[in-house]
Structure 1
């Protein structure tokens, strides 16, 4: 499957990465860029962001091969690397990974519990919604149309979950990084 569809897998990954970067720019950039500016910036940093995601995934994979817990630990430690890369405008892959590791230091357990609560809750809401809406669709519409509509509902709910998780990662970054020096200076000026 993967060898037959590698082109589409990479293309979908790049599109997903682009959307994530643009959302992170819109959420985290203190200059409040327009959507067009966020898209231009997202396009300019897409490749390092994507490469960082691949490297993080490989690290988590190898950590999981050792045992599941090291993989989970590495995942949590690298969770805010993307938001750090975008917010701090440092597009070096290793710098973003190190920054994420430093930000999560001493907070890994709390971050894990928070992400688990959000992910498990979102998963059950997603699963329940797809099941209930899918049943209603199948009762109202028959055949291939029911399958198509159910797949469409699944895709839309998956998209909402992706947006939710990008927002959660951005919020985690903001919480862990603390206020920017400019914000502190503005408060006391």
Structure 2
């Protein structure tokens, strides 16, 4: 099996973005930035100053009321990701409209595949945690760690589902899962480590890019101005991260797919 090269994947991703920046920017704006902005401005935040239990209840109440908005946002982001992959990998140089059409056709398969993965991960974590929970709090913690490691491993093995569907034109979600599983064999640790580093970098940039401008806006214009600046900057950073991660994911797929 090919060995995943993180450095080569990053170099390839940067080249992909530079070569297609105008078209990718259009898709990122419509399907990454816009949904993030809608979620940021429409969905309320839990009241400040609540204790842990009260805060958890407030978050659950918000999720139960606003879950359709979250769902539509996630679907839009998935659609944008698939369209980007089609645009990047299409040998016939598809237009944005053609990429969106092909991405839309692959979207039901992506949703089905992700639901299968989530269900499998949830069941596996439950089977790991339940026996440990019977042995007391200390063993329950061990079980939780084991369950999280299991979930991370499954995530790494199924990372390539989207490029398999969009780049290879597959429509069977189970076939896409198995193809990703085969391609990531022997590379799960490297894939997971690289994307965790990417996520960590994004988190640091997100915190800096939202907290500092928001603090300045609060001083100049008050709390409302701070919230607006934080929401806009946060949505922009999230959209850029989605663009970069999609390009990197496509580059990883190109590395690991069978040649010939």
Band of TM-score, shorter chain:
0.7 to 0.9
Q: Which of 171, 185, 201 does residue 121 from structure 1 map onto?
A: 201
Equivalent position SS for 2:253: helix
Is 31-40 or 91-100 further displaced after alignment? 31-40
Q: Does 1:150 align with 2:211?
A: no
Q: 1:150 to 1:97 in 2, by over 3 A?
A: same
Q: 1:119 to 1:22 in 2, by over 3 A?
A: same
| Cα distance, 1:99 vs structure 2 | 0.4
Deviations 1:127-178 (A, max 9, x none): 2221222222223222312222221211111111122222221111111115
Gaps of 5+ in 1: 182-189
TM-score of the two chains, using structure 2 as the length reference: 0.64
Gaps of 5+ in 2: 1-60, 129-146
Q: Does 1:91 align with 2:152?
A: no
CA distance in 2, matches of 1:41, 1:63: 33
Q: Which of 183, 190, 202 does residue 103 from structure 1 map onto?
A: 183
Higher RCO (C-alpha under 8 Å, 6+ residues apart): 2
Give the aligned partner of residue 27 of structure 1.
88
Q: Which of 153, 157, 162 does residue 82 from structure 1 map onto?
A: 162
Q: Which of 56, 60, 81 does residue 121 from structure 2 map onto?
A: 60
Give the aligned partner of residue 152 of structure 2.
72
Give the aligned partner of residue 177 of structure 1.
257
Select the structure of larger CA radius of gyration: 2
CA RMSD of superposed structures (Å) = 1.8
Q: 1:59 to 1:166 in 2, by over 3 A?
A: farther
TM-score of the two chains, using structure 1 as the length reference: 0.86
